[in-house]
Amino acid sequence: MLNIENLTKRYGKFVAVDNLNLHIDKGEIFGFVGPNGAGKTTTMKIVCGLLDATSGSVMVDGVDALKSPDDIKRKVGYVPDFFGVYDNLKTMEYMEFFGSMYGMNRDDVDEIADGLLELVNLSDKKDVFVDTLSRGMKQRLCVARALIHNPDLLVLDEPNSGLDPRARFEMKEVLKNLGAMGKTIIISSHILPELSEMCTSIGIMDRGHLVTAGRVDQVMNHAGGNTRIHIRIADMNNFEDVKKEIDDDNKTSAEDVERIHRRMLKKQMQKRRIFTGF
């Protein structure tokens, strides 16, 4: 489905993407992981025909993304890291507007939009103004909009950014359903465990380089799946509470351990009426 060879993007002397090579098969859910500035968004925009590359090759289902950006936009659905919604439109009007951008007739758009809104659990919101939707609903609406023309490849740039836990779960379920339908998906995030729960393969980027890529279990092991984590408890009074929460879930990550410990410390400090910035 997607084949990237020797992809490089430079801004003057700064190299945003450095000789990237990547292959993604049809039906895969591929996760890009890395910090801000790693090159994830730049790579995605090039794949979607929104940004020129300095050198290299990008093929999407046989179409050259660098030479035929207009053709590639019909093959790709893109959800950027900002909503891009029109608040003065109702949900169905929003879908109809984007359908018209692809030259679709009104009847086809309405039929397809009904199915997509049901897919993202927004069927009961189609006559509601977009500005009344929650952040999570707006993000799911953007996914529905990106699918209106039935693209071969769906690209999502940090779709869970700023979402609360429930909205994250709902987004994850939508993407799992799309994967079960055979859609090829690329999704980016800062959080490796988050992507490991929904992706079939993962690539880790840093400073423009693809550090590693492969099946989820392979990458998780490469990223430190067997690393021993040492925890220092600053307040021994709450040690047993922290230990109990960790023991309750043997899948607790290092990030979760820190969160649990901070919460316990905050409770202890509040009992002592000590101000905390946690």
- Assign 54 a pLDDT band (cuts: 50, 70, 90): very high
Tell me the average pLDDT across 4-27. 94
Among candidate residues 130, 45, 119, the one with its CA nearest the CA of residue 84: 130
Among candidate residues 173, 216, 183, the one with its CA nearest the CA of residue 33: 216
Higher pLDDT, 179 or 130: 130
The span from the CA of 233 to the CA of 112, in Å, is 54
Higher pLDDT, 13 or 233: 13
- CB within 8 Å of 250: residues ≥ 6 apart: none
Grouping H, G, I as helix, E, B as strand and the rest as coil, residue 222 is helix
The span from the CA of 229 to the CA of 239, in Å, is 16
The span from the CA of 271 to the CA of 95, in Å, is 52
Structure letter (DSSP) for residue 129: B
Tell me the average pLDDT across 262-277. 51
Q: Are 186 and 30 in contact (CB under 8 A)?
A: yes
Q: Are 243 and 236 in contact (CB under 8 A)?
A: no
Tell me the HSE value of 41 on the side-chain side, using a 13 A CA sphere. 11
Tell me the average pLDDT across 237-265. 58
The span from the CA of 230 to the CA of 244, in Å, is 16
Among candidate residues 126, 153, 132, the one with its CA nearest the CA of residue 49: 153
Tell me the average pLDDT across 127-136. 90
Higher pLDDT, 54 or 196: 54
The span from the CA of 1 to the CA of 23, in Å, is 8
Question: What integer pLDDT is reported at residue 22 of this predicted model?
Answer: 94
The span from the CA of 83 to the CA of 118, in Å, is 19
- pLDDT at position 275 over 50: no
Write down the mean pLDDT value for the chain: 82
Question: What integer pLDDT is reported at residue 170 of this predicted model?
Answer: 82
pLDDT digits (tens, 9 = 90+) for 176-227: 888 888 889 999 988 777 788 788 899 989 999 998 888 888 877 766 555 5
